[in-house]
Amino acid sequence: MATKIDIRNRKATHDYEFIEKYTAGIVLSGTEIKSIRQGKASIVDTFCYFKGSELWVRNMHISEYANRGYSNHIPDWDRKLLLNRTELRKLQRKTREKGLTIVATRLFMSDTGYAKLNIALAKGKKEYDKREDIKRRDTKRAEDRLRKV
């Protein structure tokens, strides 16, 4: 039943240092899940926030379903995430600290056919940290090329 949907937020791995990772379910309507199964979703610049004691995701774009009937979903509205109560409390406590946020890293379909969102408690990287990561990645790539030959 599960399709090979794996949408990643590569920009988040460049801009943030991940502290803890979680997998959350998403509350979706029928046309939203059909669009995700077609691969028409984007999680670039996606972040999570708390509204009361519930966790919501913002800036997650799911394109409108082409074969819809008389109704369709709004592509950019906020969607509720489903986590355990203890995980929600822990995340809410940690996000009150300065410099920590929750970002979406990956959208995928589970084995049971449900859409899941990997989220991470993250801390923003400084510009020099980003340059160090790029330098480290380039040297590793050069070493791998030399080993191959």
Mean pLDDT of all residues in 9-25: 92
pTM of the model: 0.82
Please write the tens of the pLDDT for every residue from 88-134. 999 999 998 888 999 999 999 999 989 999 999 999 888 888 898 88
- What's the pLDDT score for residue 2? 47
Q: How many C-beta atoms lie closer than 10 Å to residue 107's C-beta?
A: 24
Mean pLDDT of all residues in 14-28: 93
CB 103 within 8 A of CB 2: no
Q: Is the Cα dihedral 37, 38, 40, 43 positive or negative? A: positive
Q: Among 93, 123, 117, 88, which Cα is nearest to 105's?
A: 117
Spatial distance between the Cα atoms of 73 and 81, rounded to a whole number of angstroms: 17
Instruction: Find the distance separating the first CA and the last CA of the chain, reported in whole Å.
Output: 42
Amino acid at 7: I
38 Cβ partners below 8 Å, 6+ apart? 65
Please write the tens of the pLDDT for every residue from 56-95. 999 999 988 888 777 788 888 999 999 999 999 999 999 9
Q: How far is CA 86 from CA 50, 53, 115, in A?
A: 14, 11, 22
Spatial distance between the Cα atoms of 57 and 55, rounded to a whole number of angstroms: 7
Architecture of domain 6-148: Beta Barrel (2.40)
- What's the pLDDT score for residue 90? 94
- What's the pLDDT score for residue 3? 57
- What's the pLDDT score for residue 74? 82
Amino acid at 108: F
CB 110 within 8 A of CB 25: no
